[in-house]
């Protein structure tokens, strides 16, 4: 008899991050993606990329994003539908910044059927969010993020990866941040209740007001335990 044991391929792991701008979704999603080799799907990054390339989607999204409002659901659902079909999503993916509205959540379920998801809701007090967003700096080439106090680049103020000068995202400026937080409260926060009531979604509230390593440790143990 051969020594090869048949092992059923592990079911893909799918993760949704909820939480307001500045909660650390991008940082944690990137770390999860590296550790588990999941695809990281950041709709904000995809839209900023479309703007940089001047595509029709980018031209439509740019003025909306500048105001701190949400881009229409139909555009986001189209982006996600194409993205999750790609080969790198087969073993799992992390959604960072999607869904952000009820129609987006319903649209996602219509695409994936009864698939299981982990949902991490990262909570951070408002004053801390403002501190994080106002100090956030961003590389327009590779989209890495930094913070002037807590995670500065090695050389002031150049990206560690490609030496591009870092900038503040237009929508991290104070007046726009207020609009983004209001959009979160009105349109995204209701998804917490939505997911808490659905059996295919393993919902976890995470205290994001801690060092990134501590938050990551908790996410990791939840995923490893498959809870
Ligand atoms: P983020 O980088 O996730 O903070 O997203 C930046 C901006 O992109 C948001 O303020 C929205 O204007 C837009 N955006 C990103 N994801 C979505 C989404 N799922 N639905 C609507 N707009 C989005």
User: Choosing from 14, 40, 100, 137, which is the catalytic residue?
Assistant: 100
116, 14 contact by CB (below 8 A):
yes
Domain of 40, in residue numbers: 13-124+183-226
Predicted local distance difference test score (pLDDT) of residue 2: 42
pLDDT of residue 227: 74
In the three-class reduction of DSSP (H, G, I as helix; E, B as strand; rest coil), residue 88 is classed as helix
Count up the domains in the chain and report the number.
1
Q: Rounded mean pLDDT of the chain?
A: 93
pLDDT, tens digit, 9 for 90 and up, residues 44-98 = 999 999 999 999 999 999 999 999 999 999 999 999 999 999 999 998 999 999 9
Whole-model pTM? 0.91
- CA-proximal residue: ligand 1, atom 14 (nearest): 44
Selected catalytic residue, list 31, 48, 132, 136:
136
Residue 50, domain member (yes or no): yes
- Secondary structure (3-state) at 41: strand
Indicate whether 22 belongs to any domain.
yes
16 ligand 1 Cβ < 6 A: no
Annotated active-site residue 136? The verdict is yes
Is residue 26, in this structure, part of any structural domain at all?
Answer: yes
Q: Sign of the CA dihedral 128, 131, 134, 136? A: negative
Alpha-carbon distance of 149 to 17, in angstroms, equals 25
C-alpha 223 – ligand 1 centre gap (Å): 26
Does any domain span residue 82?
A: yes
Contact between residue 40 and residue 96 where contact means Cβ atoms under 8 Å apart: yes
Express each pLDDT in 173-188 by its tens digit. Answer: 988 999 999 999 999 9
**Given pLDDT bands bounded at 50, 70 and 90, which one contains residue 1?**
very low
Q: Could you tell me the CATH number of the domain that includes residue 55?
A: 3.40.50.300
* In-domain check, residue 55: yes
């Amino acid at each position: 008899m051969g020594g090869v044991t048949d092992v059923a391929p592990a079911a893909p792991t799918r993760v949704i991050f909820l939480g307001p701008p500045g909660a650390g979704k991008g940082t944690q999603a990137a770390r999860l993606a590296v550790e588990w080799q999941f695809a990281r799907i950041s709709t904000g990054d995809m839209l900023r990329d479309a703007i940089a390339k001047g595509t029709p989607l980018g031209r439509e999204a740019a003025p909306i994003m500048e105001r701190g409002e949400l881009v229409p659901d139909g555009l986001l659902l189209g982006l996600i539908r194409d993205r999750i079909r790609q080969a790198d999503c087969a073993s799992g993916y992390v959604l960072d910044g999607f869904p952000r509205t009820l129609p987006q959540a319903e649209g996602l379920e219509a695409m994936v059927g009864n698939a299981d998801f982990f949902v991490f809701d990262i909570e951070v007090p408002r004053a801390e969010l403002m501190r994080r967003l106002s100090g956030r700096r961003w590389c327009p080439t590779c989209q890495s993020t930094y913070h002037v106090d807590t995670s500065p680049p090695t050389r002031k103020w150049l990206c560690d990866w490609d030496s591009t000068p870092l900038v503040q995202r237009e929508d991290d400026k104070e007046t726009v941040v207020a609009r983004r937080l209001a959009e979160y409260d009105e349109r995204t926060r209701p998804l917490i209740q939505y997911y808490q009531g659905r059996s295919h979604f393993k919902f976890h509230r995470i205290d994001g007001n801690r060092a990134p390593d501590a938050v990551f440790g908790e996410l990791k143990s939840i995923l490893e335990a498959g809870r």
